[in-house]
Amino acid sequence: MGIQRDVRLGIKLVRDVTASRKAQRLLNGRLSKREPLPRQHFKIAVYFADGGVNLYQMRQWYKPFAKLAKTWPVLVLSRSGAGALPLIEESPVPVAYVRRVADLERVLAEQDIRVVFYVNQNPRNFQMMRYGRRWHVFINHGESDKMYMVTNQIKAYDYSFVAGDAAVARLDKVLWDYDFDKRAIKIGRPQADYYSGATPYVADERQVILYAPTWEGDRPAAAYGSVATHGVALVAALLKSAHHRVIYRPHPRSGVVDSEYGAANKAIIAAIAAANARDASARHIYDASPDLGWQLSAADVAIVDISAMVYDRLASGKALMVTRPVHPAAQIDTSGYLSDCEWLQADRAGNILDVLDDLTHNNEARDRLKDWVERYFGDTGPGVATERFQAAVTHLMQEWERCDAEHPQAVRIESVNSTDEAPTLEVTEAEAL
């Protein structure tokens, strides 16, 4: 078994190296054709040290960044070739590939970066945070009650943009001597202002069910994924119904740790294809698209795992169920929404039609949901979160002006060894959620 495993790892390494070199050639070609970035133009940077596997963390911010860039030009700083190539292809704001620290320092010298956003806790964020005279702001890539959301690492940033009262209460249990009034700025969920888009089907009488599970996790405490425990039975029952339409949107990392989990994911995808082949009018959807928006607004009911998807959906204010993890070691924060949510137990997944019928007619559940939406996100009226996001950035820009005037002779940090660079291979160092 050990030899077979080593052979598989060796084959994977060769494939990764080959894919990385190909991506690097494509990236070099794209970069050679680009015009230089305008100097002293960009005011905001978005630092992203990950590769392609974690691009979903950036994609959800595309539209808010594009809106923000109309006031303050925004530049993405990508440290990985595997991340930079797709970012250059799809990002609505410009991207600078800064693999080496020397590249990063060159861009900082050429631009007037005053605010730096971070969407995850990649350990290499610290390579950027060494540069002062700018605000380093953690904006995360979603709201959730995962243990990832209560890390003491938040103290490393000058500010954190959080969704609302629930996020502050969660952090208050963990962070000692932290000035929440100053450093935790509530902005709601600006991404929710863009929950729209054309659906790949014509709306009809079918009830639309979004099933969006997370991946299997890399340790028992984070074993929140439901594809193998709930998903196969749940989707099978829905596909048999002539009154339901399934939108299946699995996490892009599904199966990277557990092959059985990956097999269950593939089985669901195959079942959806077979159901559509039997009845083309069903229009069940396997959704692997990079954009998240229409799925949340179009679904009558969403069934999700403990992940940021709970709160992406919660921000819409529409019916929601959360799968209850089966693993006994899975950590669940029951002090927030998860203490009062509509749980879907694994042994009820096969009876999902009855469960949905009960939920649809449960007025008490609807009222509870409304209360939790306000607690987590505040006012979710159209455009309100976007206004709060813009106002938060305006505040930081004003604070930058004040501090810059008070400290005009601040000492610059000396350049570090220019050989300090990001690896060419895609290495996922940040937690994928």
Cβ atoms within 10 Å, residue 193: 22
Provide, rounded to the nearest whole percent, the portion of the chain with pLDDT above 90: 77
CA distances from 246 to 186, 272, 277, 322 (A): 34, 8, 14, 16
This prediction has a pTM of: 0.80
Q: Using the predicted structure, report yes or no on whether residue 69 has a pLDDT greater than 70.
A: yes
Element (H, E) at 69: none
Query: Across residues 280-300, what is the average pLDDT?
Result: 93
Query: Across residues 324-338, what is the average pLDDT?
Result: 91
CA distances from 341 to 33, 368, 372, 407 (A): 51, 8, 9, 49
* Residue 429: per-residue pLDDT: 36
55: tokens are 């691009």
Spell out where 206-271 has E strands: 207-212, 244-248
Element (H, E) at 208: strand 207-212
Least confident interval from 364-368, 374-378, 408-412: 408-412
CA distances from 313 to 145, 187, 328, 386 (A): 14, 17, 26, 17
Contact 193, 60 (CB under 8 A): no
Domains, the chain, in order of start with CATH, read 19-188+383-406 (3.40.50.11380), 207-377 (3.40.50.2000)
Q: How far is CA 83 from the centre of its chain?
A: 15
* Residue 427: per-residue pLDDT: 37
Q: Which residue has the tokens 């014509």?
A: 202
230: tokens are 């709930």
Q: Using the predicted structure, report yes or no on whether residue 104 has a pLDDT greater than 80.
A: yes
Q: What is the C-alpha separation between 61 and 386, in angstroms, rounded?
A: 11
Q: Using the predicted structure, report yes or no on whether residue 254 has a pLDDT greater than 50.
A: yes
Residues 60, 66, 68, CA angle at the centre, nearest 5°?
Answer: 105
Q: Using the predicted structure, report yes or no on whether residue 189 has a pLDDT greater than 50.
A: yes
Element (H, E) at 41: none
What phi and psi, each to the nearest 5 degrees, are found at residue 200? -80, 25
Cβ atoms within 10 Å, residue 389: 23
Q: Using the predicted structure, report yes or no on whether residue 426 has a pLDDT greater than 80.
A: no
Q: What is the C-alpha separation between 67 and 359, in angstroms, rounded?
A: 37
Provide the 3-class DSSP secondary structure of residue 344.
strand
Contact 77, 50 (CB under 8 A): no
Provide the 3-class DSSP secondary structure of residue 356.
helix
Q: Using the predicted structure, report yes or no on whether residue 415 has a pLDDT greater than 70.
A: no
Q: Are strands 184-186 and 159-162 parallel, antiparallel or unpaired?
A: parallel
Provide, rounded to the nearest whole percent, the portion of the chain with pLDDT above 70: 89
More confident residue, 176 or 9: 176
Q: What is the C-alpha separation between 230 and 220, in angstroms, rounded?
A: 17
Query: Across residues 321-336, what is the average pLDDT?
Result: 92
Residues 235, 239, 242, CA angle at the centre, nearest 5°?
Answer: 145
Kindly give, in sequence order, each residue whose CB lies less than 8 Å from that of residue 392, ignoring residues fewer than 6 positions away: 161, 185, 187
Q: In what order do the strands lie in the sheet with 44-48?
A: 95-97, 74-78, 44-48, 115-118, 135-138, 159-162, 184-186
* Residue 423: per-residue pLDDT: 45
Amino acid identity of residue 97, one-letter, is Y
Q: What is the C-alpha separation between 85 and 120, in angstroms, rounded?
A: 19
Query: Across residues 153-169, what is the average pLDDT?
Result: 95
Confidence bin at 111 (pLDDT 50/70/90) = very high
45: tokens are 């940077």
Confidence bin at 3 (pLDDT 50/70/90) = confident
What is the Cα gyration radius of the chain?
23
Q: What is the C-alpha separation between 68 and 307, in angstroms, rounded?
A: 26
Query: Across residues 204-223, what is the average pLDDT?
Result: 96
Write down the mean pLDDT value for the chain.
90
Q: Using the predicted structure, report yes or no on whether residue 11 has a pLDDT greater than 70.
A: no
Q: Using the predicted structure, report yes or no on whether residue 330 has a pLDDT greater than 60.
A: yes
